[in-house]
Chains A and B, each alone.
Chain A
Amino acid sequence: MRTIRNGLVLALGITMTALGATACGGGGDNTPPAAGPNEHVDLTLATFTEFGYEALIPEYERLHPNIKITHRKTGQGGPYHQDLITKLAAGSGLADVAAVEEGHLSDVLDKGSKFNDLSKIGPADASPDRWLGWKYDAAKTKDGKVIGYGTDIGPLAMCYRKDMFQAAGLPTDPEAVKPLFATWDSYFAAGADYVSKTKGKAWFDSASQNFNAMVNQLPQGYIGSDDKLAVESNQGIKDAWTKVTDAVAKGESAKLTAFSNEWNTGFKQGAFATKVCPAWMLGVIKEQAGPENAGKWAVTAAFPGGGGNWGGSYLTVPTQSKHPKEAAELAAWLTAPEQQIKAFQAKGTFPSQVKALSDPALLSQTDAYFGGAKVGELFAEQAKKVQKPQYKGPGDGQIQENAASPALQAVEQGKSAADGWQQLVDSAKKITR
């Protein structure tokens, strides 16, 4: 009986402890003062995939003995951003410095009030002229707050299979192929030509890859500057749709959804002759096409419709941070040209900083897999061709992923272009409801 009584007390004790543990202290939301120069500060940094910061963090800690950095790395971008938005909503749990990918930037800009204005709290050397103009401007909210420092970018070029071009009687030299990739019209016309010469071989991997680049080049995207859906009112989107679905009808698409297993196999099988190629895509091609296809792929400093960007990220400092000033200093240091070059050498993240783009380490970089092409110089040239950033309203990224891409996939699976367009419009309306 005694043991039972003790057990009772124990059970009550455990229950009380458990209840006590779940009570959590609410944090104050007024901006705390900056720590003194020798005060110990713990900072957290959250990134996804590969930013190339592994060697830089210890270096920063050496330079600032009072600062200890915890680096949280997530493998995949998708879950990382879901977690980011959820924690923004919850009002706690975010790192002091949080990376945001360009495709998710519109959702974050929409919640600009939850981020610090880096143009106000950041160090003086992180001035706008550090970055390419379009990169810096893209992280501005509607009321002019700068919520992120640019890390890397994905300037667009064209990759193509030299051996397949030769077999179809097309030029193969990177300079000689440029006219084919001058405009979207010339690109799709060359594709139709290629299909007929090769008796039905595909020109590009999937319609969605081209359509995204085309829409990104327009002055206005899916969402107008008034944050209203502009899919139906924006003639440019409709024109891009018509061009790309016509190309599908002519058999130019290999109908392989980007990043799917079949797409990966398509690289090995030589299922398509050209590919929209942001800087980071070279690594993907190398990995998927494999050593047996070395030297067959080439890349040229041309892109239909001028230039474009696909990918790249920003470092933000959420207002949740207890040490916003120190966090902004860390973000500024990591995105300085010197550090970005090191990150580029570590993981191939292409710099968005003007000075880094003329760095000898970058300009001298060649890629043997692509026939020794001077890829550093080539993409630096492409980065400078990018126009001013298109305004990305809330829901823009979702429309691309869950309205435009599936609609184009449906057309590739046999839906008519008109029905596909209706599907895109309906889905976009549903998303922005």
Chain B
Amino acid sequence: MTVIDKKIAPGGSKAGERTSPRPTFRHKLSRWDVKVSPYLYVAPFFIVFGVVGLFPLLYTAYVSLFKWKAGSDDPDFIGFDNYKELVGDGQFWNALTNTVSIFLLSSVPQIIMAIMLAALLGSRLRGATGWRVGILLPYAASLVAIGIIFANLFGPKYGLINGVLQTIGLDPVDWQASRFGSHVAIAIMVNWRWTGYNALIVLAAMQAIPKELHEAALIDGAGTWRRFWNVTLPLLKPTLIFVIITSTIGGLQIFTEPKLFDALPGSNNGGSTNQFQTVTLYLYQSAFENYNLGYASAIAWVLFVIIVLIALVNFFLTSRLAHTPAVKKK
């Protein structure tokens, strides 16, 4: 319609449009279309997220207020009793300590190694693509397969690692019995899988750093190390925040590795004295072995809050650190 108008009245006078006082149905529909369509296009994500993300989150909060045994017909409402019990539950605190310990033992070396690897991969290498794909291989392998292989390597009696230790004249370590030993072993499993993955993300960010900056630094006489410290690292800040937060979320939910590390197949105990039972493992045990769904939901919520808190702390720390690049006098 407007096309025809334009043909009749060249110069694009808009007067003709104002003469039609009442909008036709088609007109209304098109306005409506403009208003509503965008929401409709983004709706699928929000509907799916609502169904599989938000609803379970809220429903878990609801379940956590009940003494809810799987199979019981009428769960009792007990308010915050599950949370009170959780605060006094030694096994939960033990699991939380283990989780944080494994998380620190894995994430800290992992991120440092990932940056180093990225720096190496970013330098001039023969067959760079091959190396880059190579460090991603552990991530592509099946987690369960990795878990089984590592549990074998760390076997207290017939494991390869103890075999090597004994060959070089050291004492064997009972990796499953000792608390610290088991944490180290599990952290190695985690690092094996995730270091390459994080290195590639950091590498992508490094590639995006403008060459001019490095050239300018070179002209100013900065050495390789100095350039890395004062040019590369500060510019990696957003990526590092991302990597640290994702590994925090992942690290605090660690489940498969400790489950497979247990000598008793399928056990959720995390060792004979729960020495490597993580929070998710305890959650799983409470829900699907002891059938205390209410208690498990309380654990899930506490874990959720802890992850959010630690991620926030991480976020602030990382931004503070990256704001003030430490000038090292070498």
Asked whether, in the complex, the Cβ of A398 is within 8 Å of the Cβ of B290, the reply is yes
Give every chain B residue within 8 A of A255 (Cβ-Cβ). Answer: 157
With A260-B265, A262-B155, A266-B157 already in contact, the answer to whether A85 and B70 are too (CB < 8 A) is yes
Asked whether, in the complex, the Cβ of A111 is within 8 Å of the Cβ of B71, the reply is yes
Q: Mark B38-72, 1 if CB is under 8 A from A, else 0.
A: 00100100010000000000000000000000111
Give every chain A residue within 8 A of B29 (Cβ-Cβ). Answer: 1, 5
Q: Mark B147-186, 1 if CB is under 8 A from A, else 0.
A: 0100110011111000000000000001011000000000
- Quick check: is A196 within 8 A (CB to CB) of the other chain? no
- Quick check: is A56 within 8 A (CB to CB) of the other chain? no
Asked whether, in the complex, the Cβ of B263 is within 8 Å of the Cβ of A257, the reply is yes
Asked whether, in the complex, the Cβ of A409 is within 8 Å of the Cβ of B266, the reply is no
Report the minimal beta-carbon distance from B270 to chain A, rounded to whole angstroms.
9
Bound Cα distance A4, B36 (Å): 11
Q: Mark A259-273, 1 if CB is under 8 A from B, else 0.
A: 111100110010100
Give every chain B residue within 8 A of A269 (Cβ-Cβ). Answer: 158
- Quick check: is B272 within 8 A (CB to CB) of the other chain? yes
Residue of B nearest to A78 (CB): B266
Asked whether, in the complex, the Cβ of B264 is within 8 Å of the Cβ of A260, the reply is yes
Give every chain A residue within 8 A of B267 (Cβ-Cβ). Answer: 401-402
Give every chain A residue within 8 A of B158 (Cβ-Cβ). Answer: 262, 265-266, 269
Q: Mark A398-433, 1 if CB is under 8 A from B, else 0.
A: 100110011101101111000000010000001100
Give the size range of A's interface with the partner.
Answer: 35 or more
Bound Cα distance A381, B290 (Å): 37
- The residue among A5, A406, A431 with the most chain B CB atoms within 10 A of its own CB is A406
Asked whether, in the complex, the Cβ of A262 is within 8 Å of the Cβ of B289, the reply is no
Give every chain B residue within 8 A of A76 (Cβ-Cβ). Answer: 266
- Quick check: is B207 within 8 A (CB to CB) of the other chain? no
Give every chain B residue within 8 A of A153 (Cβ-Cβ). Answer: none
Asked whether, in the complex, the Cβ of A402 is within 8 Å of the Cβ of B289, the reply is yes
- Quick check: is B76 within 8 A (CB to CB) of the other chain? no
- The residue among A4, A398, A412 with the most chain B CB atoms within 10 A of its own CB is A4
Bound Cα distance A271, B30 (Å): 81
Give every chain B residue within 8 A of A258 (Cβ-Cβ). Answer: 264
The 8 Å CB contact of A89, one of B71, B263, B272, is B71
- Quick check: is B288 within 8 A (CB to CB) of the other chain? yes
Give every chain B residue within 8 A of A260 (Cβ-Cβ). Answer: 263-265
Residues of A1-47 at the interface with B, using a CB-CB cut-off of 8 Å, are 1, 4-5, 8, 11, 15
- Quick check: is A82 within 8 A (CB to CB) of the other chain? yes
- Quick check: is B273 within 8 A (CB to CB) of the other chain? yes
Q: Mark B172-203, 1 if CB is under 8 A from A, else 0.
A: 00101100000000000000000000000000
Give every chain A residue within 8 A of B71 (Cβ-Cβ). Answer: 85, 88-89, 111, 114
- Quick check: is B291 within 8 A (CB to CB) of the other chain? yes
Bound Cα distance A262, B261 (Å): 12
- Quick check: is A256 within 8 A (CB to CB) of the other chain? yes
Bound Cα distance A260, B266 (Å): 10
Asked whether, in the complex, the Cβ of B263 is within 8 Å of the Cβ of A262, the reply is yes
- Quick check: is A86 within 8 A (CB to CB) of the other chain? yes
Bound Cα distance A88, B73 (Å): 11
The 8 Å CB contact of A431, one of B157, B272, B288, B290, is B290
Report the minimal beta-carbon distance from A156 to chain B, rounded to whole angstroms.
21
With A8-B40, A88-B71 already in contact, the answer to whether A262 and B33 are too (CB < 8 A) is no
- Quick check: is B246 within 8 A (CB to CB) of the other chain? no
Give every chain A residue within 8 A of B91 (Cβ-Cβ). Answer: 430
Give every chain A residue within 8 A of B151 (Cβ-Cβ). Answer: 261
Bound Cα distance A414, B47 (Å): 54
- Quick check: is B269 within 8 A (CB to CB) of the other chain? yes
- The residue among B156, B263, B289 with the most chain A CB atoms within 10 A of its own CB is B263
Residue of B nearest to A268 (CB): B158
Give every chain A residue within 8 A of B274 (Cβ-Cβ). Answer: 406
Give every chain B residue within 8 A of A406 (Cβ-Cβ). Answer: 264, 269, 271-274
- Quick check: is B37 within 8 A (CB to CB) of the other chain? yes
Give every chain A residue within 8 A of B174 (Cβ-Cβ). Answer: 413
Residues of B13-44 at the interface with A, using a CB-CB cut-off of 8 Å, are 29-30, 33, 36-37, 40, 43
Report the minimal beta-carbon distance from A84 to chain B, rounded to whole angstroms.
11
Bound Cα distance A413, B290 (Å): 26
Report the minimal beta-carbon distance from B204 to chain A, rounded to whole angstroms.
36
Give every chain A residue within 8 A of B37 (Cβ-Cβ). Answer: 4, 8
Asked whether, in the complex, the Cβ of A409 is within 8 Å of the Cβ of B272, the reply is yes
The 8 Å CB contact of B273, one of A262, A398, A423, is A423
Bound Cα distance A414, B157 (Å): 15
Give every chain B residue within 8 A of A4 (Cβ-Cβ). Answer: 33, 37
Q: Which 7 A-B pairs have the closest CB atoms?
A: A89-B71, A413-B177, A409-B272, A410-B272, A257-B263, A260-B263, A89-B70
Can you list 30 A-B contacts (CB < 8 A)? A8-B36, A8-B40, A78-B266, A82-B289, A85-B70, A88-B71, A111-B71, A257-B264, A259-B264, A260-B265, A261-B148, A261-B152, A261-B155, A265-B155, A269-B158, A271-B157, A398-B290, A401-B267, A402-B268, A402-B269, A402-B285, A405-B264, A406-B264, A406-B273, A409-B263, A410-B272, A410-B273, A413-B174, A413-B176, A414-B177
Residues of B within 8 A of A (CB): 29-30, 33, 36-37, 40, 43, 47, 70-72, 91, 148, 151-152, 155-159, 174, 176-177, 263-269, 271-274, 285, 288-291
